[in-house]
Amino acid sequence: MKQINVGLCGLGTVGTGVVKILTNHQEQIKYKLGTEVVIKKVLVHDVNKKRDVEIDPSWLTTEADELVSNPEIDVIVEVMGGIEDTHLLLEKALRNKKHIVTANKDLMAVHGQQLLRLAKENSCDIFYDASVAGGIPILRSLSDGLASDRIQKIMGIVNGTTNYILTKMSDEQLDFASVLQEAQDLGFAEADPTSDVEGIDAARKMTLLANLAFKMDIALEDVEVIGITGITQEDISFADSLGYTIKLIGIASSHEGKVEVSVEPTLLPHEHPLAMVKNEYNAVYVHGEAVGETMFYGPGAGSMPTATAVVSDLMEAVKNIRLGISGNSYITPQYQTQLKENNEKFMKYFIRMEADDEAGTFSKLTNVFTNEKISFAKILQLPGSSKGTAEVVMVTHKISKQQLINSLEKLKSLSVIKRMISYYRVEGEE
C-alpha cells in the first residue's frame, strides 16, 4: 500500500512531540501498520520561528488549504487548539475526505457530535483519545476495552494544574494564590488559569467521557461546575482532621437511565486511590456493572505523553484505511439525554459554618437538619474566628442535593449562624 501522508496542524509542545515520535519510531510504526506514515505539511503561524525539533523547511506553511485541500494528504492531525476557527478547518478537511486525529478537548466538547456525524457522512474517522488525560488511553478503553459493559460511574482527576495546586496546598500548607504563582512559574498553569482553576477544562473532558460511557448526547452546559478558587487552607485542615483529602473531581454517574455530570471540589478518604494521586498526574476511576472497579493512572499532559496518544490515534486511523472500514467508528447516541434533578442526586456532604457559641445554638441547628431528615456521620466543633463563636464542621450521611439546598437556605436565616463558610461533596466511602 502507498504511504500515508499526514498534515500536522500546530507545532507547539504536542506537535513537536508528534514529529519526534513519527521520526524516531518510524521503523516500529511501519512494522505494525505495514506502511510508512510520513508528514507532508505542517501548519504554523510563523515559518521562520526557531523550533525544538529538526524539521524540513519545505513542510512548513501558514496556509491551511495546503493541508485540508491537498489531495496527497490522507490524515489531518490537529494539535493547535482553538475552537471556532479550528472547527471550520476540520469541517473543510472532512468534506475533502480527510481523516482527523485531534487532541482538542475544547473543540470536541463543543462541536464533537456534529463533527463525528459529518465524518460518518464522508466515510472518515475522527479519533480524539489524546483530548482527555494526556497519555492515559481512557477514551479508547471506554469505547473498546469496556465496550461490552454497562458503565455506571466515572470519577477522576482530569486536570493536572488543579491537582498540582491542591497537592501543594495540602502537603506544604500553602495558600492558593502562592501555589498558583508557583505553578505558573513552572509552566504547569497558564498565564490565564481560569479554564483550569474554575473547572472548565475538567468539565469539557467529563463531557467527552460521559458521552462515550452513557451513549448520550451530553452537552458542556449539562455539567455542573465548581472550581477550586474558594478552597482555603482551613478547609484542607478540617478535612484532614476528619480523614479526608480535597481533590477537584469530575463525576459522571448513571442510574435508571438518568445521568449526572459534575466537576467540583470533593472530599475523599485518605486511603482512596484518587486521594493518593499527586501533583500534575491524572487518574480516572471507572465502575462497570460487570467488570466492577478499574482505575487508569498516568501523566495528564506534557509533550511526549500527549503526543504518544495522538500517534496511537493516528495509527488506528491508518489501520482503518488499510482495512477499508473508515467512517464506521461513530455510533449515533443510543439513549435520549435525561439528567437527574436535584432530588435524584444522592451523596454525602461536608458542611462548615461559624455560629454563636451559646446555649441553644445546637438545638436550632438540629431542628433544621431534623426537618430535612438529615443525619450526620461526623461532627467537629472548634473555637471560631471571633470571640463568642464556634466553627462547626459536619459530614452528613447520604442525602439528596435538594435536601442540602433546603437546609442551607434555612441555616442562613438563623440569627445564631454568623456565616456559612463552605460545603463540599464527599465520595469514596461506599
Are 185 and 146 in the same domain? yes
Are 211 and 185 in the same domain? yes
Instruction: Look up 364 and say whether it is catalytic.
Output: no
Q: What is the pTM of this model?
A: 0.89
Of the candidates 127, 134, 133, 123, the residue with the CA atom closest to the CA atom of residue 102: 127
Q: What CATH number is given to the structural domain containing 9?
A: 3.40.50.720
Asked if the structure places residue 182 within a domain, the reply is: yes
Are 102 and 191 in the same domain? no
What local confidence, expressed as pLDDT, does residue 359 receive? 87
Of the candidates 318, 247, 304, 310, the residue with the CA atom closest to the CA atom of residue 276: 247
Asked if the structure places residue 386 within a domain, the reply is: yes
Are 369 and 415 in the same domain? yes
Are 183 and 309 in the same domain? no
> Which residues in the chain show pLDDT less than 50?
none
Choice among 205, 340, 348, 418 that is catalytic: 205
Q: What is the pLDDT of residues 229-271, one digit of tens each?
A: 999 999 999 999 999 999 999 999 999 999 999 999 999 999 9
What local confidence, expressed as pLDDT, does residue 430 receive? 66
What local confidence, expressed as pLDDT, does residue 190 receive? 82
| Cα-based torsion angle of the residue sequence 330, 333, 334, 336 in order, rounded to the nearest 10 degrees | 180
Residue-range definition of the domain harbouring residue 240: 138-299
What local confidence, expressed as pLDDT, does residue 1 receive? 59
What local confidence, expressed as pLDDT, does residue 99 receive? 97
Q: β-strand 244-255 against 99-102: which pairing, if any? A: unpaired
Of the candidates 90, 96, 68, the residue with the CA atom closest to the CA atom of residue 7: 68
Q: What is the pLDDT of residues 15-60, one digit of tens each?
A: 999 999 999 999 999 999 999 999 999 999 999 888 888 888 899 9
Q: State CA 175 to chain mean position distance.
A: 24
Are 351 and 368 in the same domain? yes
Task: Locate 200 and state its grid cell.
Answer: 472548565
Q: Is the dihedral of CA 212, 218, 220, 223 positive or negative?
A: negative
Residue keyed to cell 442526586 = 345
